[in-house]
Each structure stands twice: as structure tokens, then as C-alpha cells.
Chains A and B, each alone.
Chain A
Amino acid sequence: MRIAVCLKQAPDCSSVYVDPVSGEVDRERFVQTLNAADACALEAALRLKEQRGGSLFALTLGPDESDEVLRVALAMGADTVERLWHPSAVDWGPLTIAAALAARLHADSSSLPDLIFCGEQSSDWASGTVGPALAAYLGLPQITGVIGLEALPDPSGQLLLRVTRRLERGYRERLLTRPPLLLTVHETLNEPRYPSLPAHLAALQATIAVCDPLSLPQFAPDVEAEEATIIEVRIPRPRPHRLAIPDSQLSPFERIGEIVSGGTSRRQTRLLEGPPEELAHELVRFLKERGFV
């Protein structure tokens, strides 16, 4: 089985200082490490490789310093590693990055890897986009937000995976799946291993292969195509706590009742009935009225 894992160097959150007044990030204080979720992706890939045999290829896109994350991958047990970089890549958004990674994975003479692992989000921008976009570019099915992963015994000898996904509000989803597939992994999936000294030493001294993504046949960056533009970054303010002021016309008893019940007006609900088109119109009108659209 061939497994690929996409890694990213990202700031260690504990080293990030954001000026509370200007909202600016002090870049000089960053300590760059292997993104936490990516380390879990790497560990998960390694465990599968160890169970089932095969090879593990670790890929990153980043400047010189990003060699470090590939060294971590080598020390932990990746068989081959490669770094993609071109100076113009500093401006690339998640979609272009995903396209470059896809082009690199396509470039191998053999077919695509059976399994591709990514971290779900990085500690810096946390767009959570690269993994899904990569799956789209490669035409692979994907499972995001993986917090549990198990290889099940399958009589056919094929790999059968039981995957647990994290959904919102504490919900979980459990899926059975087979490769080929792309998984994005949450940083709680596992505890990445601590490499032995000889492995660590060998990785420190390894030469890291670098590839210019612009030289890849299937890749043409289209920076304009990034549909998301960052307009502003700021620290969210805590939501103001609304105080309900009871109606002074009411009797003290009723006022107390209103205060403890948490508001002066009842929650209003409206139930609409009718043909779907009318309902849709009504809904749009409602949203406009409330300033949502």
C-alpha cells in the first residue's frame, strides 16, 4: 500500500503573541514546528504502514525552513520526503497550494497513492481547505475531521477502515470505508511518537529533495482564482451580554418573574404553510427584513 501525507510547518501556538491593541502578531517570536494536526496525520499513516506494509511519502510546500518538518517525518519513519517551493508561493492561497500538491502527487509515474493523509487545520490560518481541495483536485473521496481510525480485518484482504469523524456540537459519525481516499485528521487523533536517537540523527543529516512546483506538468497557478480574499483580521470581542430591562408598568411580582425567566418579551415563532416557492419568497423576505442578506 502506498500512503502519502501532506505536512505543513506552522507556528507553535504557545509562542504566538498577538498585540491586544493593534491585533498584530509578533512574527519574531514564532517558533515554527510541525503543525499539531499534521503530526497526528503522520503518526496515523505510520501506524497503518506498520500494520499493513507499504511505503510512506511525506510532502510539504514551504520555504527552506520547512525542511524541518520533513526531517521530523523521516525520523518518525517516512520512507521518502519532498519539499515543493517557489518564491512566488508566499502569495498562494489554500486552493493554489492544494493544486500544487495534487500536481506533485499526479507526477509520479505510477498511480496515485492509496491513501492520503492531511491535518485538518493548521495553527495559523486554520482554513481547513487544503485537504478537501486536494481531494477535489485528485478526484478522490474524502473524510474530514478524523478523530478515530482503525483498520478492520477484512476477509477479502483489502483494507477496510473504520473512521470516526468529529461533527459539530459534540456529534460523532462513524464510517466504514476503503481506499483510495483522502483523510484530514484532527489533532486529538493520537499521540505522535518520539523518534529514537539514531533515527533522529539520520534525519538531521538527510538531504531533502526540493521540487519547483511550477515545473510540474499539471500545475498552473492561478492566484486570481482564489475566491477568498482576506479583508481584515481581528481579535473577536466577547459578545456583549444583553440585560433585560423589565417593563416598569408591571407589578413587582411580574417584574421579578420576568427577570428570572431571562427576558421581557417572549420568543416569537412563526409557522408558515404553503407551496415551496411562496415559502422560499417568504423566507428571503424575512432574512432581508432582519438584515441577514
Chain B
Amino acid sequence: MHAQQQFDAIVVGAGPAGSSAALVLARAGLRVALIERGEYPGAKNVSGAVFYAPGLLAELLPSFWDEAPFERYITRRVLTFLGKESAFSLDFHTRHFALPPYNGVTVLRPKFDRWLAGKAVEAGALLITSTVVDDLLYEGARVIGVQCRRDNGALYAPVVIAADGANSFLAKKAGLQREFSAEEMSLGVKEVLRLGTRTIEERFHLTGDEGMASEYVGEATGPIKGGAFLYTNRETLSLGIIVQIASLAQQRIRPYELLDRFKQHPAVAPLVRDGLTLEYSAHMIPEGGWQLVPRLARAGLLVAGDAAALVFAAGIFLEGMNFAVASGLAAAETALEAHQKGDFSAATLAGYRKRLEQSFVLQDLQRFRLTPAFVNNERLQNIYPELLCQAAEQVFRSEGRPRKKLGSTILTTLRSKVSLWTLLRDGWQAGRALFF
């Protein structure tokens, strides 16, 4: 074996999880290989993307706020229930999210991922692009390296961090992850539309670098289970739909048709008017939540980010990048500890899970473990948003006739489609999933 092909740690995938891990490992003085199949990091990576809790990285990179290529910080969050021809929104704005450490910032993944990987390289990691990892290499039950799709493609290290994204090939090959069901995977289809800075600021009531993150449920995806999003970048909009694969297959609708339909909804069309499509992309998202989290380690191997299904997708929340970063950092710390001990056994690497249990990563996933099922509830997806809009319409309707009190107006509308009993039960489930 060439000395050149021996590293102290190998990280597969230069997304937020992999680059954060490589950064920490390289800073500690390890020889790290960061392997990425794209021409450059982020070339094919897809997110909305709002990077929540960016303070995670700012702690590690003091120059973060001056240097990181983020577009806008989110001060406005909107949740919209779409009926067929109406929309009911909760619109929240706060100046408290307008100061570092911001609560969330929009990023364009090709730029952001490249920048973050660059930080790992500055710290001393060797970034190996245009190189696909095909398999893991073993010695007995222990992972000792990876096999790349190039001639003489073996690379060796006592610890490998698989950060190869959703539907991780490596986690499955290592027997850590089971096959998914189509209910647990979603497909995100996304466009970047160019509108120009002025138009964005005027259309979305933003000043300076403020930004908006807007989520949609209901008619957004027609009869398909899922939702839609619309985020503001500096001069572009990112918008897309995220739909459950099982439901998509069942209804036989093409995802881009859904995206078009969303863009034509009367509440959305004026927001995207005259937008020029710059990018179109699609990517899978593991949305199974807690149930889908695999075994996270075995001797010589740790799994981080989407590869370990560490995505917090709970209706109004879609957070994956911050989970990826936090898990990448935890994986790196565990690998460092293993190096100190000179022990890469499953027992030492099990410290990774403990770290995640102490952080928001596994705590949030566990706490909100009922949410995915609740969010995919048929009524929540397809009936309540419409009913809510109808109820609002009744409340605001002025017909020159005597009105009923609002409570009974709303209740009558709701009960026109679902029984009181179902309503109560869904209310209880909503509470269990999100509130208490």
C-alpha cells in the first residue's frame, strides 16, 4: 500500500455534514481525505435552502459572518394553508432574528458548500473531487477504507465518516441502514427564479438583507402528500415542492407538473411573476424522522447527516443542513477521541450516538417522533387547509344579512367535512405531535 493512500480519516461527501467533519479533523492535525463525487462541492447538492442555527458554524469559524456566502437572514416566517382558490396565512416578522447569530440564513448550496469545503481545505484537509466512492473496504468486521471509482482506487484510514447524503449507499452497504419504504422518503423539486433585488424587496416587504421563509400546505401539492416552500435569496427566489414518494407513485403525477401547478396557484402566481428560471433540481429527503435513524456506527465507520436520515422534517420545520453540520461535528469529535485512544472499535465509536443524544439532533428527532405520521395525515394534507380557508371566507363574508357568531360559523364549516369526533382526535394528535 502506498503511503499516499493512507490517511488518518476519510470523509465521504463534501456536503455540510462532510465538510464540517473534515474541518474539525484537519484542524486537529489529522491527515484527512474529503472525497466528493461532484466536480466541486455543492455542484449537485439541493436544499431550499434556509440554513438554520448558523451559529453552529460561526462558533467554529470566527470569520463566518463576514465571509460565508449567505443570501439573506430570515426575519419573516410565513405558513400558508392553500385552498383551491384561497389562502390563509400566518405571517410572523421579528427584528430579533436580524442580529448575529441569526436564526436562519438563506444560502445557495453550490456557493455555500464550495465555501465550507474550502474552509476544510484551508485547515489542511485534502479535497478529492470528481471521485465517486463505490464501496467500503474491510478487515474482518472493521472498516479500513474506501474503494473509489478510479484505477487503483483504494484509500485507507482507521476511521471513515460516511456523509454521502440521502439514501446513503455506504450506510446500506455497511448494513447499518435498512431499505426505506416509500412513505419514508420524499422528493424535493426545486427551482431558482431570478427576480432582481428590488423586486424581491418590494414584493416580500423586505429591507436590506432581511429575508423570508414561507411554507405552504394543502392545495400546494394537490392530492399528493407534501408541501411547498418559497425562500428569498438576494436577487433570486428558491421555491419548490416536497412530496412523499409513495403518494407520488400512487397518484401518478409528475413532480414538475406539481411544481408548475403550485406556481400557478392564485396566491403564488403574483409572487413569482416574471421570474426567470435559473436552476432546476431534484433531490431525495429522508423524512421518516426518528424511525428512520439507522445504527450510526460500527468499527471504523460513522454515518452523519442525511446519510443517517438526520433530518428534522415536521410540517412547518424542514431542517437538514444544521442537523448535518451538528452530526458532522459530533462524528469528527468521536473520531478524534478514537485517535487519541488508538481504538476504533464499535464500542469507542458508540460515543457518537451519545454525543448526538445530548445535542438537539437526536433530542428533537425523538421528541417529534410522532410528527411525520401526523403531518402525512390525509385530512391535514387535503381537507383542513381548504376548510380553514372556507371558514375564513365565512368570517370575512359580508352579505347584507345577519351574521352568526364566529365560533359557530367556523365549527359549522369544519363539521361539514369531518365529524366532531375526527376533529377532536386530529386535534389531540396535533397536540401530541407538536405541542405537548
Contacts and interface: CB of A to CB of B under 8 A. Distances in A.
A201 B40 CA distance: 15
Contacts of B110: 29
Interface in B1-17: 2, 4-5
Interface string A142-174: 000000000000000000000000000000000
Nearest to B43: A31
B5 A198 contact: yes
Given A196-B150, A197-B131, 12 more contacts: A20-B276, A28-B111, A29-B110, A29-B278, A31-B40, A33-B39, A195-B151, A197-B152, A198-B2, A200-B128, A201-B5, A204-B128
Nearest to A205: B126
A211 interface: no
Interface string B123-162: 0001110010000000000000000101111110000000
A198 B152 contact: yes
Contact of A197 (B126, B150, B278): B150
Chain B residues touching A, majority SS: mixed
A202 interface: yes
A17 interface: yes
Contacts of B151: 195-197
Interface of A: 12, 17, 19-20, 26, 28-29, 31, 33, 194-198, 200-202, 204-205
Contacts of B153: 196-197
Contacts of B154: 197
A200 B131 contact: yes
A201 B276 CA distance: 40
Contacts of B126: 201, 204-205
Contact-residue bracket for chain B: 20 to 34
B39 A31 contact: yes
A54 B155 CA distance: 31
Interface in B376-397: none
A201 B6 CA distance: 11
B244 to A, nearest CB: 31
A202 B194 CA distance: 41
Interface string B218-245: 0000000000000000000000000000
Contacts of B278: 17, 26, 29
A194 B150 contact: yes
Interface string B272-291: 00001010000000000000
A195 B4 contact: no
B150 A200 contact: yes
Contacts of A20: 276
A197 B155 contact: yes
A20 B5 CA distance: 47
Contacts of A205: 126
